[in-house]
Amino acid sequence: MERVFSRVALFSVALLVATAGLGLWLGDLHGQVDPRVLRWGTVHRLSGVLSALLVVLVNSMAVTYFIGTGRWCREVVETYALDPAYIERSRRLKRAAFPFALLGMLGVVAIVALGGAADPASGRPGTQAWVTPHLIGGITLVAAIAWCFQAQLPNMRRQHELIEAVLGEVRAVRKARGLDVEQPA
């Protein structure tokens, strides 16, 4: 999971950076009448939406991973009467990772909100005043989202190590009871 998460997170950050680069290249669209430039503005908006969805997806993958593996850990520990400390360790790892996933999701929502406030295509008055906050907030929050992704990785590594430890104990219990034991791959 760690490898998949890393790759998808890296791709989502790259897409965020590309979207920001397109926005910087376009500059302020207020007063712009060239249809080609306005088309690129639409591309910027759509790539922003795609980036936002991808960031939410990646963080949701992390949340789902910890919920699923935590549940698995609890069920296996209870079934094989293993040390309940495994369950508590899994809960701590999940609780340590969740704030970063939530912050990453809220960060991308903030970027989208600032972009919507700065969008001249919305037809609302005062959108020009939001261009600079969108620029500064976007760049800052992309860095924060990248940091949130990298902050989740150590907990994923530790959760994987925990799963391997539980599986090792299960193998020992099954062997002691004379049951079939799958060998690790």
% the chain with pLDDT above 70: 98
Give the pTM: 0.89
pLDDT at 31: 84
How many angstroms separate the CA atoms of 56 and 113, rounded?
Answer: 15
Q: What is the mean pLDDT of residues 86-93?
A: 97
133-145 pLDDT, tens digit each: 999 999 999 999 9
Q: What is each CA distance from 123 to 32, 108, 119, 174, in whole angstroms? A: 13, 23, 8, 68
Domain assignment present for residue 181? The answer is no
How many angstroms separate the CA atoms of 45 and 38, rounded?
Answer: 11
Domain assignment present for residue 132? The answer is yes
Domain assignment present for residue 80? The answer is yes
Instruction: Find the domain containing 171 and state its range.
Output: 2-176
The answer on pLDDT for 77 being more than 70 is yes
Which range is least confidently modeled, 7-21, 23-37, 52-66, 135-149? 23-37
The answer on pLDDT for 185 being more than 70 is no
How many angstroms separate the CA atoms of 120 and 31, rounded?
Answer: 8
The answer on pLDDT for 29 being more than 90 is no
Domain assignment present for residue 69? The answer is yes
Domain assignment present for residue 114? The answer is yes
Domain assignment present for residue 146? The answer is yes
Domain assignment present for residue 23? The answer is yes
Q: Residue 123 is encoded by which pair of tokens? A: 């037809």
Number of structural domains in the chain: 1
pLDDT at 28: 86
Domain assignment present for residue 182? The answer is no
Round the average pLDDT of the chain to a whole number and report it.
94
